[in-house]
Structure 1
Amino acid sequence: MAEARKYPAPQGNPETAPFWEAARQGKFLIKRCTACGEPHYFPRAICPFCFSDQTVWEESSGEGEIYTFSLMRKSPTGPYAIGYVTLKEGPSVQTNFVDCELEKLRIGQKVKVVFKPTDGAPLPFFTPV
């Protein structure tokens, strides 16, 4: 297990403010296009599938599975793992994996979102279930 780390505060903007406010409440939001029905992440006003501006916020279950990952064994801050998680709702999320034994991570493994405190809104990461 990694030691407690100090995470930098996220830099939001008016477009992502609802995402960070929900994170403060322990909720992970994605966007859904009401024109084509596709969910997407990273939250943005324009749908990346059909380019409609008819998008709405939707709470994600925060559950998914590891699509791929890389284990970084050497870094100034110690070993860490980054990768992509495919959410139950469909979108893929690039993330760091935390609160786990990095050597036990596997593609297809079930994970869930966890929030780590910062001096601002908490940051979402994923950990095995």
Structure 2
Amino acid sequence: MTASTDAPPWERYPHQPMDEDDVALYEGWLVRELRLPRCGRCRRWHTPPRSLCPFCWSDELAFTPLSGRGIVHLAMVLHVGPPAPGVEYPYPLVTVELAEQPGLRFTSTVVDGDADPAVIGSAVELVWIDRAGAPFPAFRTTSGGNA
């Protein structure tokens, strides 16, 4: 392991709910890689992480890296919420349909410089920001325009 990943993910992300099904997700974050479980039988990704494939019920799962590219499916701005390290309100959020599979969506913040969320249909890419001393996935719009 590199120096940035010496601590286990539950120590690096103490404010994230974590169980045995999603430890590998956070291990990926530590090396700035978005990984989601992909079924070895039906080849589909799913989120949130679970110990069985929700499509074919197989337990042949492997956390597999994704490109982080996609299209904004949902956009919103939270004006109030619980305190969290690195979160200031208003807080923009997007749910992105990832390019690897129709219907595969991941929600995080968008970092385009203001509190306005990206426009639904905008192309986005994954970027990494620092939150409380650990890498955290975020999205930014790309010059690819709307879908």
What amino acid sits opposite 2:27 in the alignment? E
In the alignment, what sits opposite 1:96? 109
Matches of 1:100 and 1:51, distance apart in 2: 42
The CA RMSD over aligned residues, in Å, is 2.5
Q: Is the 8 A contact 1:21 1:121 kept in 2?
A: no
| Structure 2 stretches lacking a partner, 5+ long | 1-12, 82-87, 143-147
TM-score, normalised by the number of residues in structure 2: 0.69
Gaps of 5+ in 1: 1-6
Name the residue aligned to 1:19. Answer: 25
Worse overlay, 15-24 or 58-67:
15-24
Superposed displacement of residue 9, structure 1: 4.0
Moved over 6 A (4+): none
Query: 1:20-79 CA deviation, whole Å, 9 max, x = no partner?
Result: 12211111101111222211122222112122211111110011110121234x337432
User: Partner of 2:116: helix, strand, or coil?
Assistant: helix
Aligned partner of 1:84 among 87, 92, 95: 95
More RCO (CA 8 Å, sep 6+) = 1
> Which TM-score applies when normalising by structure 1?
0.77
How many residues align? The count is: 122
Q: Does 1:75 align with 2:80?
A: yes
Report % sequence identity: 28
1:107 is the counterpart of 2:112: no
